């Protein structure tokens, strides 16, 4: 392992000299607070290193509410991709991102510098934030840290992504021997890979940008934390292989040249919390899980040019079942492919299982995929002799997306990726899933044949454009329930049930 920073170098990188002399170099965090009371409003902002690319569509200011001093935020430039359905080529777009930390309440002011603003939207819609619009400037308040997207005139790419954190109450010391510390500024590592030893924490202070990949290989009790950024280039921002008890928290990960935000392979007990990730160009997935167990992905914001969350079994040099995976409290935006995709890759020679999967309290903001075989905001697609079973999908809010399906379940044999058909899908419970919009294609439920089917799928309180879809709803008796929403299932799907909440509770009590 190439240790990137000695204690002395770490202290220098942390800005110890800068802090001693004030604002030299423009890399010192700016702190605004009312007093030293732990309950008083506080605000911490971080300068963008001058070598990091910026975008010029917005001016963003923030202050402690209701009348603190305004601070102007530096803007970063993530990149995103849009696929041309006629040629298959991808166009890369620039977008905008800011971040800061606070305690109490803050007022945010966003000015659209291109002008011509007629409407503004702060997403997810479920937060209920209605900005005050004053010409090309809008204002809104946050009472606690949230990750939101500000859209002007329904612009998809020329939008503002605004990420906020709680103020870190106990950041590590730069000379802590168990910490690999990166302070404000841009940092490089040998070979563009930082290999993390067991027991070590990589800490990226606010305003820090690490160029390269953070790599956990056959280690235990290691972590990546802090309010800084990993700028991954064309490789995975984080790669975790054969490791246990790993924590990845709070960091922002950008992969402007492609590559995944994070990949987990043959790993156990991995907790990814409040990670924000952007990727562009082909195969730019968010977080991919292969042959791993006891993984929690919690509170993340992912906007990607391929699947935001992908859960598989065997691929490449990863082997084994995947089980006990939880994805919760996340916001997902797929400019290409699926927000959630499960089951494509596995091991035909030694069939594997993907089981005990939970997807809970999610906001899906967008999904755009022209290819019918790769649609579905949530897609369960076992191939390669995989069996998917015991899946809970609960409290998922799907906003209107550009192109695709709400949900897609298909036992498949995709010859581009698979060497055999999937074994099936069993025991899926979908509770409180809602979709509001007009762009969804019919959702499809497709078993492969009588021996490779879908069995026991239950929807409780499925709400499509405000209507609860249930087997008991008023309809011609010869209609299928799926006809009410123009969904389709074939003869290899058994025990597909649609219940109201009252019916589900009555069944549970009986």
Q: What is the pLDDT of residue 28?
A: 66
Are 73 and 60 spatial neighbours (Cβ–Cβ below 8 Å)? yes
| DSSP state for residue 127 in the 8-state scheme | G
In a domain, 194, yes or no: no
For residue 79, give the CATH number of its domain. 2.60.350.10
Tokens of 57: 């569509």
DSSP per-residue letters across 192-245 = EEEEPPTT-EEEE-TTEEEEEEEEEES-EEEEEEESSEEE-TTS-SEEEES-EE
Peptide bond into 124 cis (omega under 30): yes
Are 308 and 284 spatial neighbours (Cβ–Cβ below 8 Å)? no
In a domain, 392, yes or no: yes
Residue 23's Cβ-count burial label (10 Å; 0-12, 13-18, 19+) is exposed
Backbone angles phi, psi at 503, to 5 degrees: -65, -40
Are 208 and 185 spatial neighbours (Cβ–Cβ below 8 Å)? yes
In a domain, 395, yes or no: yes
Q: What is the pLDDT of residue 18?
A: 30
479: which residues sit within 8 A by CB, 6+ positions away?
none
- Beta-sheet strands, E only, within 260-308: 262-265, 268-273, 276-279, 287-290, 293-298, 301-304
pTM over 0.85: yes
Are 455 and 409 spatial neighbours (Cβ–Cβ below 8 Å)? no
Q: What stretch of H or E contains 503?
A: helix 501-509
Quick: pLDDT tens for 445-483: 999 999 999 999 999 999 999 999 999 999 999 999 999
- Pairing assessment for the beta strands 137-142 and 132-134 based on DSSP bridges: antiparallel
CB atoms within 10 A of CB 355: 18
Tokens of 419: 């060497």
Q: What is the pLDDT of residue 37?
A: 66
Q: Report d(CA 485, CA 131) in Å as an integer.
A: 33
For the stretch 172-176, contacts whose Cβ atoms lie closer than 8 Å and that sit 24 or more positions apart, written own/partner, are 172/201, 172/203, 174/7, 174/10, 174/11, 174/13, 174/14, 174/16, 175/7, 175/10, 175/11
Q: Report d(CA 283, CA 261) in Å as an integer.
A: 11
Q: What is the pLDDT of residue 3?
A: 40
Query: Which of the residues in the chain have pLDDT under 70?
Result: 1-28, 33-37
Give the residue numbers spanning the domain of 342: 307-509
Torsion of CA 268, 384, 490, 326, to 10 degrees: 10
Q: What is the pLDDT of residue 34?
A: 53
Q: What is the pLDDT of residue 510?
A: 87
Q: Is 22 helix (H, G, I), strand (E, B) or coil?
A: coil
| DSSP state for residue 448 in the 8-state scheme | -
Question: Of 105, 140, 166, which residue is a domain's last?
Answer: 166
236: which residues sit within 8 A by CB, 6+ positions away?
213, 255, 259, 260, 261, 262, 263
Question: Of 137, 166, 195, which residue is a domain's last?
Answer: 166
Q: What is the pLDDT of residue 33?
A: 60
- For 218-229, b/e burial (b = at least 16 CB within 10 A) is ebeebbbbbbbb
Q: Report d(CA 298, CA 309) in Å as an integer.
A: 12
Q: Report d(CA 48, CA 507) in Å as an integer.
A: 56
Number of domains in the chain: 2
Beta bridge partners of residue 379, listed in sequence order: 341, 408
DSSP per-residue letters across 381-409 = --BTT-EEEEEEEEEEEEE--SBEESEEE
CB atoms within 10 A of CB 486: 11
Q: Report d(CA 335, CA 402) in Å as an integer.
A: 9
In a domain, 357, yes or no: yes
In a domain, 235, yes or no: no
Tokens of 199: 């027991």
Closest CA to 64 of 94, 26, 34: 34
In a domain, 189, yes or no: no
Q: Report d(CA 66, CA 200) in Å as an integer.
A: 41
Q: What is the pLDDT of residue 36?
A: 57
In a domain, 177, yes or no: no
In a domain, 381, yes or no: yes
Peptide bond into 145 cis (omega under 30): no
Question: Of 138, 166, 194, which residue is a domain's last?
Answer: 166
């Amino acid at each position: 392992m190439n240790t990137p920073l000695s204690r002395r170098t770490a202290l220098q990188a942390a800005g110890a000299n800068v802090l001693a002399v004030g604002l030299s170099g423009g890399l010192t965090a700016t702190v605004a607070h009312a007093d030293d009371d732990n309950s008083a409003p506080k605000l911490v902002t971080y300068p963008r290193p001058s070598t990091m690319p910026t975008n010029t569509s917005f001016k963003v200011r923030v202050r402690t509410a209701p009348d603190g001093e305004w601070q102007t935020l530096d803007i970063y430039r993530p990149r995103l991709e849009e696929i041309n359905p006629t040629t298959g080529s991808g166009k890369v777009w620039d977008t905008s991102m800011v971040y800061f930390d606070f305690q109490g309440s803050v007022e945010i002011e966003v000015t659209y510098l291109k002008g011509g603003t007629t409407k503004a939207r702060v997403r997810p819609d479920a937060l209920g934030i209605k900005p005050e619009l004053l010409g090309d400037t809008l204002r809104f308040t946050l009472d606690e840290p949230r990750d939101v997207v500000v859209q002007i005139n329904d612009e998809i790419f020329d939008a503002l992504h605004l990420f906020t954190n709680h103020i870190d109450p106990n950041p590590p010391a730069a000379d802590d021997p168990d910490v690999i510390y990166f302070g404000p500024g841009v940092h490089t590592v040998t070979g563009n890979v930082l290999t993390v030893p067991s027991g070590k924490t990589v800490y990226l202070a606010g305003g820090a940008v690490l160029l390269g990949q953070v790599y956990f290989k056959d280690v235990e009790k290691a972590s990546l934390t802090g309010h800084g950024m990993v700028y991954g280039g064309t490789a995975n921002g984080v790669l975790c292989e054969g490791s246990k008890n790993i924590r990845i928290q709070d960091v922002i990960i950008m992969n402007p040249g492609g590559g995944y935000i994070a990949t987990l392979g043959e790993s156990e007990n991995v907790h990814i919390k409040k990670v924000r990730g952007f990727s562009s160009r082909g195969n730019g997935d968010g977080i991919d899980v292969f042959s791993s167990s006891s993984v929690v992905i919690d509170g993340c914001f992912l906007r990607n040019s391929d699947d935001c969350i992908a859960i598989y079994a065997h691929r490449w040099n990863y082997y084994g079942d995947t089980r006990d995976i939880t994805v919760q409290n996340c916001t997902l935006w797929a400019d290409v492919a699926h927000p959630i995709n499960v089951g494509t890759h596995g091991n035909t020679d030694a069939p594997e299982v993907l089981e005990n999967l939970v997807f809970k309290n999610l906001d899906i903001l967008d999904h755009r995929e022209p290819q019918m075989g790769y649609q579905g905001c949530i897609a369960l697609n076992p191939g390669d002799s995989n069996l998917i079973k015991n899946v809970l999908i609960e409290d998922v809010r799907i906003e209107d997306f550009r192109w695709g399906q709400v949900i897609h379940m298909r036992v498949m044999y995709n010859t581009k990726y698979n060497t055999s058909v999937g074994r099936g899908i069993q025991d899926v419970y979908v509770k409180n899933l809602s979709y509001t919009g007009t762009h969804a294609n019919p959702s499809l439920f497709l078993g492969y044949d009588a021996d490779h089917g879908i069995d026991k799928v239950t929807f409780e309180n499925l709400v499509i454009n405000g209507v609860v879809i249930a087997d008991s709803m008023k309809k011609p008796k010869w209609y299928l329930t799926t006809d009410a929403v123009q969904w389709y299932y074939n003869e290899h799907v058994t025990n597909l049930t649609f219940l109201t909440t009252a019916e589900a509770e009555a069944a549970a009590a009986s």
